[in-house]
Amino acid sequence: MNVRIVRGYALAAVLYTSVLLTACGRPSTDESAAPPVVPVLASPSASAPTAASPRAIAERDAVVAYSKFVQAWVEAAKTSDPNAPGLAEFGQGQALRLIVGTLIDAQLDQRVVLGTLGSSPTAFDARPVDVPRDVVVSDCLDGTNWLSYRTTGELWDDEPGSRKLMKSIVRLTDRGWKVDAMTGGVEAC
C-alpha cells in the first residue's frame, strides 16, 4: 500500500467521507496534526438538563455551531474551496485543519463533492457538567447522496456513499462555539 492510499484511509476513518478521501490524499509532514483522541465520556447523565439550564443552553448552542460547520463544509466541498466562508467561523483546531486539508487535496485532484449530506446531530455529553465549555456532539452523517465528482462532471469513482457515525468536540471560545475536533467515520450508523 502506498502512502497516498494509507493517508486516504486514515482520513476516512477520521472524517467519514470515504468517497471524498479514498483516492488521493497527500502525506502530511506535520506530526503535530495528528487527530486528538475524543474522550470516551459516559452516556448522558441521569440528571438531564432542564430547558433553561446552562447545560441545556450550551448543548443547544454547540449543536447549532456544529450544524453550521457541517453546512459550511458541504458548501465548500462543492468547489473544493479551503477558504470558504463559515469554516473558520464555526471551526478551529484539528477539525478545521482536517476539513481544510481535505479540501486542498480535493482541489489539487480537481475533485468536488456534490449532493446532499444528511446530518442529525445531538449533544452526547458536556463538561464541566454544570456550566459546559466542551460539548460532545454525535452525528450519523448520511452521505448516500453526497458523492465525489471530477470538476469535468464525471463521477470520481463507483463508490457509493454511506452512513457513518461522527463524534465531535465543540468548544466554547471567546468568539462563540466552534467545532474543535472530529473523529469517526468508520462505524456505520
Q: What CATH number should be reported for the domain holding residue 144? A: 3.10.450
Q: Name the one residue in this structure whose C-alpha cell is 467519514.
A: 16
Tens-digit pLDDT profile for residues 102-159 = 999 999 999 999 999 999 999 999 999 999 999 999 999 999 999 999 999 999 998 8
C-alpha pair distances (Å), 147 with each of 127, 153, 167: 35, 11, 21
Residue 161's domain spans which residues?
3-27+50-188
Percent of the chain predicted with pLDDT > 90: 66
pLDDT at 187: 83
Q: Is residue 161 part of a domain?
A: yes
Domain count, the chain: 1
Q: What is the pTM of this model?
A: 0.75
pLDDT at 30 over 50: no
**pLDDT at residue 52, rounded to an integer:** 87
Say whether pLDDT at 19 is over 90. Answer: no
> Considering the domain boundaries, does residue 36 fall inside one?
no
DSSP category for residue 28: -
Q: Is residue 40 part of a domain?
A: no
Average pLDDT of every residue of the chain: 80
Q: At 163, which amino acid appears? A: R
- Domain-located, residue 39: no
The pLDDT of residue 48: 59
Q: Say if residue 5's pLDDT is above 60.
A: no
- Does some domain include residue 33? no
